[in-house]
Amino acid sequence: MHAAVLREFGSAPRYDQFDDPIPRDGEALITVLAASLKQIDKGMASGKHYASYRELPVVCGVDGVGRVETGERVFFGGCRKPFGAMAEKTVAPRAFCFPVPDSLDDATAAALPNPALSSWLPLKWRAQLKPGESVLVLGATGAAGKLAVQIAKLLGAGRVIAAGRNPQQLEAAKSLGADVTIQIDEPGKQLVEAFAAVAKDGIDIVLDYLWGAPTEALLAALTGPDLMAEPHTTRLIEIGSMAGPTISLPGAVLRSSGLEIYGAGGGSAPKQAIFEALPQVFEHAARGALNLETKKVPLAEVETEWNRKEDGRVVFIP
């Protein structure tokens, strides 16, 4: 079969021949219809991600949409290595195959779960969002960030603050539910002041796709409240590190604020939370409550598309 085959860490996979998968007990043989390109796919292929492959060659792609032997169309994940989703066929545990609503096209169904769950699980499971609470999305102009704005409103947030670099996408975030926007490429002091202005009314939850300097500016804005002021708890959920892998965290930030820091990733949520969330995400998308831009690309073009920047989510079609 043809697949996106990775033979060297740090390089793009190539469209190449790979052995056909043979399912084992408890696995489904899947004819792949679509597989999206995500940051985790690139991170694993770099060899630097905590979940990077142990051995090469492998087929890239952690999840996708396809048809099982019975003909049912499913979203699948957890492919058994060395097989992956970016291929004509793959194998995955039957327990990780979820029915896809008929009204959702293959590309949307393949692209939606990863970025949607990146905010749905932190809000519902990690931060336990309460109706009316305020949510700041750091990195609100990417595919996952724009979905996070929509999902925060959908799950009952009272005020959603969208922070990002792209002014056009920030403007678009308003139509997706953002009440306030912040341009994060301003000079350091101005950015701290912008965060401080929105923090006056309290920020309950931060969904942080950026880390690095923007997060440091936010922490500076949260530092040093009036001792007579009522303390306000802010739950910061670290989801991604698009702006930098580390931050400087002065002790004063923790001593002078109600900051709580958590992480959200593939190993931080129980499987049951994922199993409960996925059908709900698909249901909301099927009725038009969640929107995600996709760009369909033939899998044969995987090498040239791998590192190209897109506003939407690239979806490979075998």
Render pLDDT for 34-93 as a digit per residue (tens, 0 to 9): 999 998 999 888 888 777 788 899 999 999 999 999 999 999 999 999 999 999 999 999
Q: Which pLDDT score, from 0 to 100, does residue 19 have?
A: 95
Q: Which pLDDT score, from 0 to 100, does residue 253 have?
A: 86
Dihedral class, residue 211 (left if φ above 0, else alpha if ψ from -120 to 50, else beta): left
Is residue 266 very low, low, confident or very high in pLDDT (cuts 50, 70, 90)?
Answer: low
Q: Enumerate the domain spans of the chain.
A: 2-112+293-317, 115-263
Q: Which pLDDT score, from 0 to 100, does residue 102 have?
A: 94
Render pLDDT for 156-183 as a digit per residue (tens, 0 to 9): 999 999 999 999 999 989 999 999 999 9
Is residue 232 very low, low, confident or very high in pLDDT (cuts 50, 70, 90)?
Answer: confident
Q: Which pLDDT score, from 0 to 100, does residue 305 have?
A: 94
Q: Is the pLDDT of residue 26 over 70?
A: yes
Tokens of 38: 């995500």
CATH 3.90.180.10 fits 2-112+293-317, yes or no: yes
The whole-model pTM stands at: 0.89
Q: Do 193 and 223 form a contact (C-beta atoms < 8 A)?
A: no
Specify the CATH class of 115-263 in words: alpha beta
The yes-or-no answer to whether 2-112+293-317 and 115-263 have a common fold is yes
What does the DSSP assignment read for 144-195?
A: HHHHHHHHHHHTT-SEEEEEES-HHHHHHHHHTT-SEEEETTS-HHHHHHHH
Render pLDDT for 277-318 as a digit per residue (tens, 0 to 9): 999 999 999 999 999 999 999 999 999 999 887 767 999 999
Tokens of 174: 């308003």
Mean pLDDT of 112-127: 93
Q: Is the pLDDT of residue 225 over 70?
A: no
- Provide CB contacts within 8 A for 8, sequence distance 6+: 56
Q: Is the pLDDT of residue 260 over 60?
A: yes
Sign of CA pseudo-dihedral 104, 318, 116, 176: negative
Q: Of all residues in the chain, what percent are helix, strand and coil, respectively (each to 5)?
A: 30, 25, 40
Render pLDDT for 190-224 as a digit per residue (tens, 0 to 9): 999 999 999 988 899 999 999 999 999 999 998 87
Count other C-beta atoms under 10 Å from residue 289's C-beta: 13
Q: Which pLDDT score, from 0 to 100, does residue 228 have?
A: 44
Mean pLDDT of 8-24: 95
Q: Which pLDDT score, from 0 to 100, does residue 226 have?
A: 55
